Amino acid sequence: MDIKSKIESLRDDLRQHNYNYYILDNPTISDYEFDMKLKELQALEEAHPEFYDENSPTKRVGGTITKNFNTVVHDFRMYSLDNSYSKEDLMDWEKRIKKMIDGEVQYTCELKYDGASMNLTYENGKLVRAVTRGDGVQGDEVTANVKTINTVPLQLKGDYPERFDIRGEIVLPIEGFLKMNEERIANEEEPYRNPRNTASGSLKLQDSSEVAKRPLECLLYSIKGNNLNVSTQFEGLEKARAWGFKVPKEAKLVNSIDEVLDYVNYWEEHRHNLPYEIDGVVVKVNSLFQQDELGYTAKAPRWAMAYKFKAEQVSTRLNEITYQVGRTGAITPVANLEPVQLAGTIVKRASLHNADQIEKLDIREGDAVFVEKGGEIIPKIIAVDLTKRPEDSKPTVYITHCPECQTELVRPEGEAKHYCPNYNGCPPQIVGRIQHYISRKAMDIEGLGGETVALLVKESLISNYADLYELTVEQVIPLERMAEKSAENLVKGIEASRQIPFERVLFALGIRYVGETVAKKLAKHYKSIDALMFTSVLDLVTVDEIGERIAESVVEFFSSEENKTIIERLKTYGVQLEISAEKLANQTDKLKGQTFVVSGVFETISRNELKKLIEDNGGKVSSSISSKTSYVVAGDKMGPSKRTKAESLGISLLTEQEFLLLLK
């Protein structure tokens, strides 16, 4: 056998043994024999670098140093899931699904592993990229670190697609976590707090050989791509397992919501028997066709629901109530607690939300309080232990003036929060607006972080986001922890932000109530900042999904002379304040004022492309048929109940070709 054949034979052999050990949990050789084969392969690869393979089993040991993790846009957005905290929530979700879907619905039930979400991209059976979830639109590339995880196949087996993404959770098994902490305690080091944070932190270590020392695992649950030849979620799991991925066998296909609840009840009782931490169950409509029919909200798929197990609760002492000022001037009261362990982390603070919440629970400094993590993320106080209240306790009196600038607070009618009205003079509002402007979903300015913004404001180098575009390297270098290269990167990042499209600039301006989705709708409708600046509340409320509160906020923002001045400055700096000519060329008002429902399977165009055509031509896409529906674009396999409803309401049905002709 020649050298090349020997190397390829060893690689194939080691991949199979790795699969037997980590995926099938059925090793056929000893650890010693495996190590001997690996060393033999390493020696041959070192002697013959011409046969280099970046996905060789020898690359599991790591060694790559990554100083900066590149930001990568996902090919398919990674949505978050809607959460439910009761069986009633799940049943209500099922009722909503049944209203939108014809025929029987099956569900795939899966355990919700508590780890770090990961998107893996494969081409021709080889791992080419691993990217963290990030904000769902883009994340950090951590390929070198993920390659060290034994349960991530570097080369697939079987009939895998040419290119696809697969999603899962990077987890740290409880046994491995405890062992790591035993070693840290023995070395007189601080133990890690919990498996989830340790797994997440591992992915951002600069030295991949350090990642290789940690017993991380990757549990996969979702395939994304084109031409996958898969028709259901459960079939996707089975195929992924056959290709070589570690897919949890606890996933179950069920036929009714009652069976879903049985699954939930079983794992709520037995979750502590698992080798990994879980915090709930994920329920998905099994049919991918039905998933497509149900579609997405702005943030989450309608076809999936996460059921979160009851949150852990602890009791501790509330030492002090302090107040934070947000970028919009909103005041948030904060409970400063006696530190306490909760769901694997040390909790020192909890949100008290607003004055009404404090009054409702009669929360006072010095109280013994019950704390839980709402959705396992944000700690909150749920009750006061009145039996332990001190005799000299006094009711909490909510502050009347801003804790930062001493301006008298206001509380708008119908709102729960108090606000500091000192828009242009309150330091946290100034810093917060600029931090929002540079954030990833807004202008995404590389080289500039929140702490640096605060420092720039403190040093009087900037007082609003337009000032960023006048910063020079010479001004920035003297700042604390700022080297010449960092200063150059910061200025380059600001320069690059001039190319960010208008809808994201509009979101970045920080107009109250104008989030990502609203900014896109306003940008699409008005097409330029000038048109939006001079509109009225009456005109704004005619825009789809723009209510009076948003309209009033937009008009108020542009009525400020200071804001107008900042906008004019942004124009002179070349920031994109109108939709590009290229984008405008693809948009018309042909379908303005018309609402479409898209249902079924189409031949010449995908469902998503069809929806985009409707929106690009001024129409609105709805998920359900009502008296407001103008047309239903009906493809093959359209449900009979939808057809019946459309006919009963006298709504015209268009074929795919008829719709395309309508556009022409």
| 443 three-state secondary structure | coil
β-strands 313-325, 138-140 pairing: unpaired
Dihedral over alpha carbons 386, 392, 394, 399 (to 10 degrees): -120
Q: Answer whether 618's CB lies under 8 Å from 648's CB.
A: no
Q: Residue 98, CB half-sphere, CA atoms under 13 Å: how many? A: 9
384 strand-pairing partners: 369
Chain-centroid distance of CA 384 in Å reads 33
Q: Answer whether 371's CB lies under 8 Å from 314's CB.
A: yes
- Select which of 59, 98, 99, 112 is catalytic: 112
Contacts of residue 176, defined as CB under 8 A and 6 or more positions apart, other chains included, come to 214, 215, 216
CA nearest to 78, candidates 152, 137, 18: 137
Q: Residue 155, CB half-sphere, CA atoms under 13 Å: how many? A: 17
CA nearest to 552, candidates 536, 564, 567: 536
Q: Answer whether 171's CB lies under 8 Å from 161's CB.
A: no
* 179 has catalytic annotation: no
Q: Answer whether 500's CB lies under 8 Å from 509's CB.
A: no
Total H helices, total E strands in the chain: 25, 20
Helix axes 607-616, 656-663, angle to 10 degrees: 20
Chain-centroid distance of CA 623 in Å reads 23
Q: Take residue 384 and report the two structure tokens written for it.
A: 């006061």
* Catalytically active residues, by annotation: 112
